[in-house]
Amino acid sequence: MNVLRFHFERRTAILVVVLVALMLGLGLLGLCYGASWAPPGKVFAVLSGSEHSVVIRDWRLPRVLAGLVFGAALGVAGAIFQNLTRNPMGSPDVIGLDAGAYTGALVALTVLSGTSAQLAVGSVTGGLVVAAAIYLLSLETGFSGLRLVVIGIAINAMVTAINSWIVLRADLEVAIAAVGWSAGSLNGVGWDDLGIPFTVIAVLLALMTTRAHAMHQASLGDPIAVTTGVGLDRLRLLMVLVGVGCTATVTAVAGPIAFIALAAPQIGRRLAGAAGVPLLPAALTGAVLLQGADLLAQMLLAPVALPVGVVSTAIGGCYLIWLLTKEVRRA
């Protein structure tokens, strides 16, 4: 058992090093790439403060950091809900939390003045309402299992229809902005947009880190969790709040970015060879996926930058087909 545990820990450590190296490499490429190529030497000079560049420091660096932090937040949110449901399909974008957060943001845009604070509060509120609805409809079997995922997919369809109705009823200018924002994009993200979201995500991730071991115990089954002293009700409430908070915070700034939360936890779990869905590999994989998708979004139709959600949806659709095929064969 000790040899097996050492093997998994060593594999996870190697994976973390590789993913961090990929993050740094993609981050450097993101700082170099743009309408004009900036040599790595110039990038390092700007980061060290010996040179000044508005393009690198004020335009590209916030976008790179947003891809890293938002990708990590989505990866953790996906890991949380996949652990809760014990199902690889149980991610925020599949069970309707992204759509609920988008509904709250749409209400802030169409009914209120659409300030950053209103978008944040609306997104969190919308996500929590959808999470509460899914939980109440799943009480028969508890907050886990295939039943929750199926209910979440149904609610996702209904909430998506509501979102379409809100957009159709909105003023033309608001509707155009809402539809463009719904694709999920890091275009135009600046320092003013990131201070509060980064702080909120940091607090949520730190809070979840303190309960990572309990979450792993709960993912092995309720009887094992109870015998090890895990308070399941409180843990599940905390996990839902953190998962919704991470998803809604990203949605409030960048719009709903699909499939990162679905794919990152399972890719990280398989690379780490873990039994459950560990948080750290999910977070790092999410950061790498979102950074890579955003770079592709900038390069595919350059000089026009696509919304990153378009690329992540295309990649995630292929992943979803593969995942469904594998689950059908297993059944």
**pLDDT score for 3:** 42
Q: What is the pLDDT of residues 139-164, one digit of tens each?
A: 765 555 677 888 888 999 999 999 98
- 7 pLDDT band, cuts 50/70/90, is very low
Q: What is the pLDDT of residues 165-211, one digit of tens each?
A: 988 888 888 888 788 778 888 888 889 888 889 999 999 999 988 88
**pLDDT score for 143:** 53
Whether a cis peptide bond, with omega within 30° of 0, leads into 303 is yes
Is 276 in a helix, a strand, or coil?
coil
Question: Which residues, 6+ apart, have CB-to-CB distance to 267 below 8 Å?
Answer: 285, 289
**pLDDT score for 118:** 84
Neighbours of 275 (CB within 10 A): 11
Q: What's the alpha-carbon Rg for the chain, to the nearest Å?
A: 20
| DSSP secondary structure of 284-306 | HHHHHHHHHHHHHHHHTTTTSPP
Q: What is the pLDDT of residues 215-230, one digit of tens each?
A: 777 766 666 666 766 6
**pLDDT score for 239:** 85
- 60/68 Cα distance (integer angstroms): 13
DSSP state of 307: P
162 by Cβ neighbours in 10 Å (0-12 / 13-18 / 19+) ranks as middle
The model carries a pTM of 0.89
Higher confidence at residue 91 or residue 63?
Answer: 63
With a cut of 90, say whether residue 27 has pLDDT above it.
yes
DSSP state of 185: -
**pLDDT score for 4:** 41
- Domains along the sequence of the chain with CATH: 2-330 (1.10.3470.10)
Is 143 in a helix, a strand, or coil?
coil
Q: What is the pLDDT of residues 78-108, one digit of tens each?
A: 999 888 888 888 888 888 888 898 898 888 8
For residues 243-258, give the mean pLDDT: 88
